Structure 1
Amino acid sequence: MVAAVVSNARVAVVGDNTVDRYLGGPEYVGGNALNVAVQLRLQGVTATYFGAVGADADGREIAGALRRHGVGTTGLVTADGPTAVTEIRVTPAGDRVFVREDFGVTADYRPSDAELALIAGHDWAHIGMLPRAAEAVTRLRALAPGIRISQDCAVSSGYAGLDVAFCSTGEDVAAARRAADGALSAGAALAVVTRGAAGAFASDGRRSWRCAALPVDVVDTTGAGDSFIAGFIAARLARTPVRGALEAGARVAARTCGHLGGFPQ
């Protein structure tokens, strides 16, 4: 499953995790940020995860999954409170319905000064769902002006200081353009908009690129967007042009749609 091996490139992924419980089915480890970290590692990128779990069985399950997949856990902290849990129902078409979300300790997690210093030592920092994400971006820029920073703007707010703002819309082209224009006008250098079955769109304000989604027999769309992000980041670290990076993201997302959960477990 390795798509790209990037020598000496290190990515810090910051934010949420959860245990995905499929109603009437199995249980998997997931979460926006955690899915990105594992998918990066599956593509040969050195990834370290920064986030919080509770001192419970779910937290131990998450820590074990990260280690089994080779993701660094230097930034994994144990906090007072429960680990996040998401209950999911999958429709016959493979679409996910979130029945219940308890964000647990991830709702209050913010990287400490020491953790921010560690994150700043990486080549790229990606932010998933994170309270006060814009503040973390500002502080990282001050610590490491040359670091590349991306963010899943569907789950965290703010665009200023981002090298890549990942957005998500429906299949409408006009909506994708509006999302990209909004991210760029608010300070992002590049906006990447995923559009589900309609593919992906990217713009830097001067140029734009499109990529079609790949055909797939959908089992579950959980984690598809996170997988796209990981594929895009891995490709850009390998100096792939934007259009090629979109295509790389689409390939990883298509694979994820073929199984339950955000990565093979």
Structure 2
Amino acid sequence: MLKVDNLHVRVESEDILKGLNLTVKAGEVHAIMGPNGSGKSTLGHVLAGRPGYTVTAGSAHLLGQDLLALATEERAHLGLFLAFQYPVEIPGVSNMEFLKASVDAVREHRGEPAIDSVSFMKQAREACKSVDLDQAFLKRGVNEGFSGGEKKRNELLQMMLLQPKLCIMDETDSGLDIDALQVVAAGINAMRSPDRSFILVTHYQRLLNFIEPDYVHVLSGGRIVKSGDKSLALELEERGYAWLEDVA
């Protein structure tokens, strides 16, 4: 699904990623943890194609294609989805318009016709129920006036409708109360499948109480310094990150 090899990334004059290696197979869930400033969000932004990041060495391939050579929208067409830590507001564009345009763009790339409005509305309403989001939000501006939890559920709604191959969740649990966290986790678990993979970027082990990862990685100093199963997250919760300095 995804292969990142010796990835080095610079932001302005600062090196953030310093030789990161990561392989994600189809159907796997990988959690990435680490201290602030270690490069967790940078990894997601670079893979998604956000401007402002300079790749100085290394490569990243999604489904065998050179991800770094593709425009942002081409990466989305290929099946990459990034859920932001801080979803942006887009006043004046209704959620429904945004969602349908996004889905139609992906369908066009696959050689499929645009979905008719009635069928799409039915799908969108069902997805709203799944993420505990009032259907009235479909008529509102994208994330405009949404609470933190509503923005995160709206990102999950987008993911459900777009049906991506690789879902990168950048601290989706940030700012969520326990009820909202359980809703988001249930939505992610419902989307797990043999041909879809997830990268969960998180600070806290609590998300992994609801979503069991296949692998947990610790990112420190711009590279992955330790990997393990879900027990590694529990160890990090108990001991913090300082003990990994010798490993790094």
TM-score over 0.5 (shorter chain): no
Alignment TM class, shorter chain as reference:
0.3 to 0.5
TM-score by length of 1: 0.32
Please identify the structure whose Cα radius of gyration is greater: 2
**Would you tell me which structure has more helix in proportion to its own residues?**
2
Greater RCO (Cα-Cα under 8 Å, separation 6 or more):
2
